[in-house]
């Protein structure tokens, strides 16, 4: 695991996207190590500090919690690189359970690494 990597849960994974895509269906396709993209949404009507989480397929699967979005989003606004991967999908082993996302992030320009088993 990278020295400056840290674990962070997502929020909002149970909601569908405005375009009709299912965040839950997209989460079901993810595996540990899959790349994620954090995108600022300053025009978000609910929260101008919002940071959305997208898969490499371009599907939004959730958001950073507001307190984390303020901190991480401000770093993104200043050009600091933020790299993220899937650490695990919560509920994946429980059929019919709602799924949740846990990410590994690195804000030092390095690729995050999965923790050792």
Indicate the number of domains in the chain: 1
Assigned domain for 115 exists: no
- Tens of pLDDT, residues 54-76: 999 999 999 999 999 999 999 99
CATH number at residue 62: 3.30.70.2330
Of the candidates 80, 74, 83, 6, the residue with the CA atom closest to the CA atom of residue 40: 74
Assigned domain for 116 exists: no
- Tens of pLDDT, residues 74-114: 999 999 999 999 999 999 888 889 999 999 999 988 999 99
Assigned domain for 97 exists: yes
Assigned domain for 33 exists: yes
Assigned domain for 96 exists: yes
Ramachandran bin of 41, using left for φ above 0, alpha for ψ from -120 to 50, beta for the remaining angles: beta
Enclosing domain of residue 85: 5-106
């Amino acid at each position: 695991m990278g020295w400056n990597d840290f674990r962070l849960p997502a929020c909002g994974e149970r909601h569908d996207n405005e375009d009709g895509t299912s965040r839950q269906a997209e989460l079901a396709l993810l595996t540990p190590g899959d790349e994620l993209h954090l995108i600022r949404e300053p025009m978000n009507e609910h929260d101008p500090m919002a940071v959305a989480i997208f898969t490499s397929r371009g599907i939004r699967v959730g958001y950073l919690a507001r307190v984390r979005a303020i901190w991480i989003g401000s770093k993104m606004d200043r050009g600091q690189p933020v790299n993220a991967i899937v650490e695990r999908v919560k509920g994946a082993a429980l059929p019919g359970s709602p799924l949740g996302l846990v990410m590994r992030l690195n804000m030092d320009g390095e690729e995050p690494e999965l923790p050792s088993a």
